[in-house]
Chain A
Amino acid sequence: MPMLKHDEEYLISRGFVYTVSEDNNGLFLVLKDYNLSTEYDQHQTDVLIRIPVGYPMVGIDMFYVRPYIKIAATNMNPPATDGFANFIGIEWQQFSRHYTWSPTYNLETHIKIIDDVLARGRWQ
């Protein structure tokens, strides 16, 4: 299952360094050294996005980070991030963020939500 061309173009336009691996359920896209808001206790983290088989008819859901991150001011996990999941041999902190998927959405739609949560610190 290859990455869609416009998704690759978007990642390149954003200057992301990324890796892609695959299993029977789809792709694991990892954005390397994603810059975090100062709301968090880390400066950077890797971000994993699962791109399921059938995408874009099937939607992307949630995202995952490693190293784990906490809210700097409270040393608490951001809301709905207490779960952990093992992908590509690594345990990731799960950001349980959901929305109703539309086939008109794409990877950019999902990364905008990640930007809002991680880069702008809107963890609420």
Chain B
Amino acid sequence: MNSKVNIKIDGQKYHVPEKMRGSELKDLADIPLEVRLVIKINNAADLEIENRQEYDLTDGMKLVTDTFDNSIEIMIDNKRYIVNEIMTGAELLAKVDATPDEYKLVKEEKVEADKEYLPTVKYEIYKNDVFFTTLRKVTNGGYGYADA
């Protein structure tokens, strides 16, 4: 059975087979074959990808090109922010001077339902993630005015 793993190439997440050739990895990420691509390894030198060689890929593996801009730019409430790769919901809210007791932070999803990011949970953040904040306590009806 061929299982799949999640890797990142230049910050973008891909769900890929456990074994892929260098050329297939570059093709996947739309990287020209002549561009240098490396596997980032903790506490060790980067491993340069050879186009013809097959690689064993593991979950969470990160590959980058030389020109990769490591900053993660996201949108919160229609404004751009540079953030870290791992952040809690509260840390993201702090970017817009909002607190979790007053505001909730929601990530816009294209396919699935939007997802609330909880204040104390750590999340992996991706380039171009889009978030919005909204007040926690909004009620429908009950009071107000209906004057004409």
How many residue pairs link A and B with beta carbons under 8 A? The number is 55
Asked if A85 and B146 sit within 8 Å, CB to CB, the answer is yes
The interface size of chain B toward A, counting residues with CB under 8 Å, comes to 19
Q: Is A80 an interface residue (CB 8 A)?
A: yes
- State in angstroms the CA–CA spacing of A91 and B133 once bound together: 31
Which residues of B lie under 8 Å from residue A13 when comparing CB positions? 78
The interface size of chain A toward B, counting residues with CB under 8 Å, comes to 24
Which residues of B lie under 8 Å from residue A67 when comparing CB positions? none
- State in angstroms the CA–CA spacing of A76 and B134 once bound together: 25
Which residues of B lie under 8 Å from residue A94 when comparing CB positions? 146
Which residues of B lie under 8 Å from residue A120 when comparing CB positions? 114
- State in angstroms the CA–CA spacing of A14 and B78 once bound together: 8
**8 A Cβ contacts from B93-148 to A:** 114, 132-135, 137-148
Label chain B's interface by main secondary structure. loop
Q: Is A107 an interface residue (CB 8 A)?
A: no
Which residues of B lie under 8 Å from residue A32 when comparing CB positions? none
Asked if B134 and A116 sit within 8 Å, CB to CB, the answer is yes
**8 A Cβ contacts from A57-101 to B:** 61-62, 79-80, 83, 85-87, 94, 96-100
Label chain A's interface by main secondary structure. mixed
- State in angstroms the CA–CA spacing of A112 and B141 once bound together: 18
Q: Which residue of the partner chain, among B114, B138, B146, B147, contacts A113 with CB atoms under 8 Å?
A: B138
Asked if B139 and A99 sit within 8 Å, CB to CB, the answer is yes
Asked if A97 and B145 sit within 8 Å, CB to CB, the answer is no
The digit string for B59-98, where 1 denotes a CB below 8 A from any CB of A, is 0000000000000000001100000000000000000000
Which residues of A lie under 8 Å from residue B114 when comparing CB positions? 120
Q: Which residue of the partner chain, among A96, A109, A115, contacts B144 with CB atoms under 8 Å?
A: A96
Q: Which residues of B contact A (CB under 8 A)?
A: 77-78, 114, 132-135, 137-148
With contacts A61-B145, A116-B132 known, what are 7 further pairs, Cβ within 8 A? A80-B141, A85-B148, A96-B140, A98-B144, A99-B135, A112-B133, A113-B135
